[in-house]
Amino acid sequence: MWNAIESTGRLEEELQLCNELIIRDPTSSAVWDQRFYVVVKCGSSPFAEFEQAIKYILDYPTFENPWLYLRRISLLVEIPRFSEALDCLFCKFLPIQTFIDDYHMLADEVEGILAAEATYGFALITLLELAYQGYEPCPEVIDGVNSLSFTNNPLHCFDTICDALTLLYPLKRYYWMWLASGVSNRMTERYREVGPMDNASW
């Protein structure tokens, strides 16, 4: 099947079909799986697909599938290459105050907001997993995360994410801790190597 698609030049047609099905039903895991397999099996550019995955998130941020799709595609690319695009993506969802303002909720309801709004769970999971793969968020993203714990220390950013995800998904708390520990250790080593003054831009 895949050889036939590739040899007949139907790759773009297949991707377009997947796109139409995603628009029709973004909750269908089968459609997202189909698109991923088309990209992998038929040699479509994973870099272009990573950018497309970000667009899907912006179109359907409240659904889990586009976030999962981005994380799957991320395994096929060099994450640092997309740091700027990822910074723009996460800045749209953080800080938490943006959500509070948009939905007219009180600042002291942060815990309730996190528990009620799955989008932030998806964003935080994606941020943590991509950071584990080498993504280094910009200062604005770090400040947005740290607004949840009222700290400005960039080295605490991923502990804050871990705490928030443990609140949302307690059964996976050890996985969050493992990811956060790995990212924090790498950032700490980098911080020590370049020195505090060089990290002023964090």
* Residue type, position 157, single letter: C
Contacts with 14 (C-beta within 8 Å, 6 or more apart), sequence order:
5, 38, 42
| pLDDT at residue 131, as a whole number | 95
User: Among residues 36, 128, 21, 119, which one has the least CA distance to residue 73?
Assistant: 36
| pLDDT at residue 200, as a whole number | 46
32, two tokens:
């997202």
Whether 198 has a pLDDT exceeding 60, the answer reads: no
pLDDT higher at 189 or 71: 71
| pLDDT, averaged across the chain | 80
pTM of the model: 0.80
| pLDDT at residue 104, as a whole number | 47
- Tally of CA atoms within 13 A in the half-sphere of 74 that contains its CB: 23
Q: For the segment 118-175, what is each residue's pLDDT rounded down to a tens digit?
A: 788 899 999 999 999 999 999 999 888 887 765 555 567 888 889 888 888 999 999 9
> 106 — alpha (psi -120 to 50), left (phi > 0) or beta?
beta
Query: What mean pLDDT is predicted for residues 176-195?
Result: 78
What confidence category does residue 103 fall into, taking pLDDT thresholds of 50, 70 and 90? very low
Packing angle, helices 64-74 and 29-41, rounded to 10: 20
